[in-house]
Structure 1
């Protein structure tokens, strides 16, 4: 590589385009961290140029950093193109600054200064082959509309929020304010003189180190070296760059790959920081950590995301296009995890486990269970897996047993479902959880759960989201199966029936008896004394007595707590509470209600040997779905009656040893469409236990090889050639 220091005039003075590859991250610089500090530095140089001594001792140039460029081969007659390997943020910002100053100079400065800057931000339209070639810098796909709006002469509706438009506007405002400032703190000279100094600054007194790559230089290695350590780049940015460099080496159509697979991942939602425990991380990096853990079936640490991904790519046989297709499909499945209907098993799992219990570490297994088509992973098996894992986590959380080992347990479960295949994933998860005996992994039994919940001060031990989730689950179980009633409303408030400040209106029968007072205090925060109310009813209930009579006797306006619950709450929790206790609410009532609620909790989240809603006793003979269990198999254990029966028959009749085919041909022979997983997941073609398609191929005496998801082709090879 060659390294030289250049001014903006040297960089932009010729007819050259600096193209940012579409797989680079979008423009992310902002006012506080980059625009204002840059403007402060530029203004300082301009103000020193205005000083009389500048004619004798010009100010030192201001260093802006480095950019890495890769020369591109262009036909004769075309404008020279350099690809921006690194430094696109500062190069783009410099163009915005130059054009912003040009705009101000055009209105308040000298024509020759405006022309001097125009040369640095525009190529001559007469030699441009298309409209985009007039720009010296051409940003990545997502930023092009915003860049054109910023650099164009007229406002473009809908682009006001673009960071590029806002950056350009900031520099225009800053330069105008400084040039026209006539206050006591103003720099010397007239507005035209100030602007001339500013033009000289941005043209000749800024410096960039330009690193030009030579043909033998590895652009990817240089990019990683400059950005991977101590850089604000996301791990996903490095992964993206690696994949597209990989695709270019393969000669793939990177523009199409970007549009078809990666463009959605460049949206703001994916770069948004979301909470994970006490930390915040970009959603896309959390996805890649879950995805890599799922795919590699071992724990992948956050700071090794890119390294692990690179090693996986270097050691694999999949094309860049196939990997991108798989990532895009799994990213959509990952996004769907949080958008599942609340009343569904997967929706409840996400709400209860991921959100309320803050256990996002289950994401790799959760994603694995949701990535498969239902023809491969039957719904009853997926539901069984999610319910079993939810029960394991909820029981341990309620008993305050550690879940710190769950990240390693998730890896164990991933290996179990991979070995069993998606057709028996639920059974595999349930059995693996059941067999755990270590203190950090034991599935809490009914006796231990009941013992703890009877007396535990849950209100103090559980966070509000966890306490609310627990009571919501009980309310849902009281309302019965879906269809007989709406699910419990969200975001209600946890309310004490006997108030926390019970000494105000609930103390007459225990005053003077220390043991009775202590017993009452110990009952306030237990499960049986807690319920849910809306935020409007909560202040009205407050510390008021239980009955209307006691409330009136105390001189308190309105009704007692019991009547308010009956009149203003639609929850079954509160209806049963109020109807069953007309006269009083005592410690004995709290104990009885605690037992009733614990009964519900045990049924909602059962252990495997106990029947409950949505679970079943699992035995070796359980039929887990057509084509996936024992049903429909011959005495030899081979399924000849599944979805791909005709494909099995066709393959059995073939005489050659290798048959290359397209996916559409396979579907035509099978007489049925291939499942979603066949088009998006490589294991679908190779996992005998998990895929009905793979079983049909295997049982016919063949195996799938050279599967290309991007090209939708496969080559069948006879398992025993010559047979």
Structure 2
């Protein structure tokens, strides 16, 4: 390859077309990171020229370096406009053309015709020698951006409303606005012509790029990968796309046809949008291709090695491009439509319960693998059996507080087992494989193990709120019939204690000793004392005595907690609760309801009856009185709750934390990210006392990740 330093006048000053292949990523530069800094640099050079002393060779000013572009030269028949394919630097070249055209438009409105013509020569080829309308442009972007680019570069008409929100149209409008304001500034010369002439001179001659021309035999893909860190970082999917279509072109495949059939949708805003993955926000397309590759290649694919793993698999397997792209496209359609499955289907339930509520995205490859097969190859009953078996395994282990550290390897092993056996009996394979596991990190808890765990487990403290809410929702769903007004339990309800956490205020009847109080405290967070309500109960109402008579006796108004709970809920869960406790809510009723709801859990998430009974690992004991860590006041419940967690990382929302605390967060926690990281305030002390630290605080999304130190 050959590298030369060139100015825009040298790059665009003759009839030539710089074509961005359609498999390159779309235009992604924005105002904050690229347009505004570029304009600031160009403006500085222009002002330096305006203020520089004039020498023998004209005003002296240092040029501004814009970076590098890599070009490949395809064969073009004699008599046609010269063409260069842009291997790297398409964002830079597109932006430079938009800037030059915006300056040309301002020069046409406020400057001298000669300057407007000089700039027009850098954005348009000679019309007489063009054969297609788009050949007039010096740069021709990838197909997704072509309509917006053509509209933005047309000085004779407004950009259509449907294209005005595109980044290309916005970039052109930004440069027009900034150049106009600078050229016609009231604190500058009254005549804008000198400023515009200086700007034209700057844009033509005082900007520099390194132009790397590839020679025959140069590997365009290797050079592309080496330079991909420039400007806006490339997505893993961008690198994959470039690689696979370069390969397709080398084998004389129909690159345009393959791209439009299999990849074009992946370049849409939906796929490039950033979504939460743990403490990070990652483009949706990169999350998808990571899961798809695990399901496709049956190998672990680290999130930071998606492209290299893909490239190595394609090279080692000598895979055919079209079948590979077809499989990727089918997987993308499956992934994009996961939320369209009925909520009461096995797929819809698995998506909500496993992927969302249990926040176990690592099992997504399993779901993609099961959904890739048509009914004739994998009967729906086998698919559903596989999902329900895995969901049961996952929920039971979560309720028993068993580790999730080995789940990624378990998913891989399951995928290999199913792949070897074929799709026809996938459900049988999953159930048989999970039932045979004996390691602590993989065992499927039996009914007796779950009963033993839930009998005393303080679920309110040991489960994230979304997980606990999902379990109670599933119990409610299980109690509803087809005749219910609503077939499914509403989402987003609040988890409520029946016996309130502040029971000492109005619930001391029958408590005659410290052991009675300790027993009540131990039962307070168990499954039998928890329910769902349609909205947050007023704390004053939530803490009232159970019956109306007790409320009247204490001068608290005409209604007790039982009446208020019935008033705030239409759930079967609460109707049964209120009906079964007409006069009191005591320890025996809590234990009985825990046993009753546990049986519902075992019915919703069944397991093979011949599972080997294995002891549940010892739970963390509550801190003895007087041994609490040095967390202050209202934040002690957070410390206690964190100490009960088994996970290394806890993605959590601000609302979840307020549920744990039973009180609102301090206003500073919602306004200032540093508040979460300070070891000196009460919140920071509570988190540190449990051995955790706050990371990835996002005030807009109101979420963060608590990570074990």
Closer, same or farther: CA 318–554 of 1 in aligned 2, 3 Å: same
Using the alignment, how far apart are the partners of 2:422 and 2:211 within structure 1? 53
- Matched with 1:147 is 149
The offset of 1:109, in angstroms, is: 1.5
Query: Which residue does the alignment assign to 1:274?
Result: 275
SS in 1 for 2:238: helix
Sort the Cα spacing of 1:112 and 1:569 in 2 relative to 1 into closer, same or farther, 3 A.
same
2:470 corresponding residue in structure 1: 469
- Cα deviation for residue 266 of structure 1 reads 0.9
User: CA-atom RMSD, angstroms?
Assistant: 2.0
- Could you report, residue by residue, the CA deviation over 1:296-317 in whole angstroms, capped at 9, with x for unpaired residues? 2121212222122112212334
Aligned equivalents of 1:13 and 1:4: distance in 2? 16
Q: Distance in 2 between matches of 1:298 and 1:558?
A: 64
CA distance in 1 between partners of 2:608 and 2:578 (Å): 35
The answer to whether the Cα contact below 8 Å between 1:388 and 1:608 also exists between their aligned partners in 2 is no
Instruction: Give the secondary-structure state (helix, strand or coil) at the position aligned to 1:585.
Output: coil
User: 2:184 corresponds to which residue?
Assistant: 180
Residue 3 of structure 2: aligned partner: 3
The within-5 A match list for 1:675-714 is: none
1:110 to 104, 109, 112: 112
* Residues 231/48 of structure 1: CA separation in 2 closer, same or farther (3 Å cut): closer
| Deviation for aligned residue 1:472 | 0.4
How does 1:405-484 map onto structure 2 within 5 Å? 405-480=406-481
Normalized against structure 1, the TM-score is what?
A: 0.81
Cα distance in 2 for partners of 1:276, 1:60 equals: 45
Give, in whole Å, the separation in 1 of the partners of 2:281 and 2:532.
30
Conserved 8 A contact 2:69-2:209: yes
List alignment gaps of at least 5 residues for structure 1.
612-723
Contact (CA 8 Å) 1:50, 1:189: kept in 2 or not? no
Matches within 5 A, 1:156-305: 156-183=160-187, 190-227=191-228, 232-305=233-306
Q: Does the CA contact (< 8 Å) of 2:397 and 2:444 recur in 1?
A: yes
Q: Which is further off, 59-68 or 119-128? A: 119-128
Q: Distance in 1 between matches of 2:358 and 2:366?
A: 16
Alignment-derived partner of residue 369 in structure 2: 368
Deviations 1:347-392 (CA, angstroms, capped at 9, x unpaired):
0001000000011111111111010001100111111110111111
Please show how residues 30-41 of structure 1 align to structure 2 within 5 Å: 30-41=30-41
> Which digits, 9 at most, give the CA deviation of each residue in 1:379-435, with x for residues without a partner?
111111101111111111111111111111111101110111100111111111111
| Alignment CA distance shift 1:312-1:210 (3 Å) | same
* Cα displacement string for residues 601-655 of structure 1 (whole angstroms, at most 9, x for unaligned residues): 11111212279xxxxxxxxxxxxxxxxxxxxxxxxxxxxxxxxxxxxxxxxxxxx
Counterpart position of 1:91: 93
Asked if the contact 1:343/1:482 (under 8 Å) is kept, the reply is no
Match of 1:668 in 2: none
Q: 1:484 and 1:174 mapped to 2: Cα distance? A: 59
Residues 398 and 125 (structure 1), Cα distance of their counterparts in 2 relative to 1, 3 Å cut: same
SS at match of 1:214: coil
Map of 1:721 onto structure 2: none
Deviates further, 70-79 or 233-242 = 70-79
Give the equivalent residue in structure 2 for 1:675.
none
| CA 475–610 in structure 1, closer or farther in 2 if over 3 Å, else same | farther
Q: Which moved more, 1:27-36 or 1:267-276?
A: 267-276
Tell me which moved more, 93-102 or 73-82: 73-82
SS of match in other structure, 1:161: coil
SS in 1 for 2:396: helix
CA contact (8 A) 2:28 2:232 kept: no
- 1:130 and 1:337, CA in 2 relative to 1: closer, same or farther beyond 3 A? same
Q: 1:465 to 1:538 in 2, by over 3 A?
A: farther
Alpha-carbon offset, residue 519 of structure 1: 2.1
DSSP 3-state at the match of 1:72: coil
Partner of 1:66: 68
- 1:228 Cα shift? 6.9
Report SS of the residue matched to 2:211.
Answer: strand
The question of whether the paired residues in 2 share the 8 Å contact of 1:493 and 1:538 is answered with no
Q: Give ranges in structure 2 of 5+ residues lacking alignment.
A: 612-709
Contact map agreement 1:345 1:387 (CA 8 A) in 2: yes
Structure 1 residue 479: Cα displacement: 1.2
CA deviation profile, 1:589-609 (whole Å, cap 9, x unmatched): 111111111111111112122
CA drift at 1:538 = 6.0
* Cα deviation digits, residues 286-343 of structure 1 (max 9, x gap): 2222222122212121222212211221233442122111211121122233332111
Q: 1:42 to 1:215 in 2, by over 3 A?
A: same
Deviates more, 1:293-302 or 1:23-32: 293-302
CA distance in 2, matches of 1:81, 1:555: 88
Aligned partners of 2:2 and 2:212 also within 8 Å: yes
- Pair 1:233–1:321, CA change in 2 (3 A): same
- Please state whether the residue corresponding to 2:122 is helix, strand or coil: helix
1:48 and 1:54 in contact (8 A); partners too: no
Say if 1:176 and 1:271 are closer, same or farther in 2 by CA, change over 3 A: same
String of CA shifts for 1:97-148, please: whole Å, max 9, x gaps: 1111111122221111111101111112222111111111110011111111
Distance in structure 2 (CA, Å) of the matches to 1:595 and 1:573: 14
Rounded Cα–Cα distance in structure 2 between residues aligned with 1:34 and 1:229: 11
Whole-Å separation in 2 of the counterparts to 1:14 and 1:535? 69
* Displacement after TM superposition at 1:190 (Å): 4.0
Q: Which moved more, 1:516-525 or 1:483-492?
A: 483-492
Distance 1:483 1:493, change over 3 A: closer
Tell me if structure 1 keeps the 8 A contact 2:494–2:536.
Answer: no
* C-alpha distance 128-84 of structure 1, shift in aligned 2 (>3 A): same
8 Å CA contact 1:276–1:358 kept in 2: the answer is no
3-state SS in 2 of match to 1:50: helix
Contact 2:103 2:200 in 1 (8 A): yes
2:400 alignment counterpart: 399
**Mean Cα deviation higher: 382-391 or 328-337:** 328-337
Residue correspondences, number: 607
> Match of 1:591?
591
User: Could you say what secondary structure the match of 1:603 adopts?
Assistant: helix
Cα distance change on mapping 1:314 and 1:526 into 2, 3 Å? same
Q: CA deviation at 1:522?
A: 2.2
Shift of residue 483, structure 1, vs aligned partner? 8.6
Does structure 2 conserve the Cα–Cα contact (< 8 Å) formed by 1:345 and 1:383?
A: yes
